[in-house]
Copies of this chain bind each other. A is one copy, B any other.
């Protein structure tokens, strides 16, 4: 790649679509962000094309200056075919995203799920740099993962590995969106925070959560609970502590199975910081096996909400050179 060549990363989420322009060292040149057009699959693909065109023209660049585009989508992805098989929060079903973009732009496009691109971001630009056996756990509305083994992403036989959110950790637990019961995701994700907060409010508990939600229980989300906890609201603190402990159990399973060097937490829930991280680490240190519990570092992501879009660019760079 010459010095004057660039990569684009795209992150298609349930609320926002982000694009980033980086150089060959993955340094940020420029970025854009919009609301995702949830009308149809076609609208999303068109919006992605427009966002890239805008990013190029805003930087006096042409598509010939771009060597590859990486895209992360929140959903089930067939990496080899470059298709979005299904997405719970986006109107994308069996959409050949890679081909549609390649036909339009004439450059190589690589498509992966949101948890894998976040893992790429942290691995190449964040807390996973220099860590060979590295696992990134994305905790947002759902829970996903990205696994690096000997510095290489591990995809499994058909690209559907690392579904750590669908480990059963409570065989008698609540029903999960996947149809199973007691998945890690049902107990430790943003959904679980909202469920617990609503139960507390419905049970008449005195809490600032409802104030931060402007008096409307339907406005309760992870961010609101996190803000109440930062204001020392006891109910909110207890919920995040409980969530942190459930996260600790899920991480214990990962630590016992992978004996990794490092686990990094990214996604919305991880943005509650030490309120989540401390109880999670405490559980791992108490119940994971030795030496695994001593070997692993558990940290928060360094890239914040840019992990996905930067990771998409890192994915493109990595795939291009592999």
Using CB atoms and an 8 Å cutoff, list the residues of chain A in contact with chain B. 133, 145, 149, 154-164, 166-173, 178-180, 182, 187, 246, 249, 252-253, 256-261, 287-289, 291-292, 295-296
Q: Are B261 and A161 in contact (CB under 8 A)?
A: no
CA–CA, A35 to B287, complex, Å?
34
Copies assembled: 2
Nearest Cβ on chain B to A294's Cβ, whole angstroms: 9
A145: which B residues are within 8 A, CB to CB? 257
Given contacts A157-B295, A180-B252, 5 further A-B contacts (CB under 8 A): A149-B149, A156-B258, A156-B260, A161-B257, A164-B256
Q: Are B257 and A158 in contact (CB under 8 A)?
A: no
Can you list 7 A-B pairs, Cβ within 8 angstroms, ordered by A? A155-B259, A158-B259, A160-B292, A168-B287, A170-B171, A180-B252, A253-B253
Interface centre among A161, A260, A261, by most chain B C-beta atoms within 10 angstroms, is: A161
Interface centre among A145, A246, A259, A260, by most chain B C-beta atoms within 10 angstroms, is: A259
CA–CA, A161 to B253, complex, Å?
11
Q: Which residue of B lies closest to A249 (CB)?
A: B168
CA–CA, A161 to B149, complex, Å?
12
Q: Are A253 and B156 in contact (CB under 8 A)?
A: no
- Out of B156, B173, B179, B287, which one reaches A180, CB within 8 Å? B287
Give the secondary structure class of A's interface.
loop
Q: Which residue of B lies closest to A250 (CB)?
A: B168
A163: which B residues are within 8 A, CB to CB? 256-257, 259, 289, 292
A160: which B residues are within 8 A, CB to CB? 259, 289, 291-292, 295
A159: which B residues are within 8 A, CB to CB? 259
- Out of B162, B166, B169, B256, which one reaches A171, CB within 8 Å? B169
Nearest Cβ on chain B to A251's Cβ, whole angstroms: 11
A257: which B residues are within 8 A, CB to CB? 145, 161-164, 167, 257
Q: Which residue of B lies closest to A133 (CB)?
A: B157
Q: Are A158 and B295 in contact (CB under 8 A)?
A: yes
Nearest Cβ on chain B to A161's Cβ, whole angstroms: 4
A292: which B residues are within 8 A, CB to CB? 156, 158, 160-161, 163
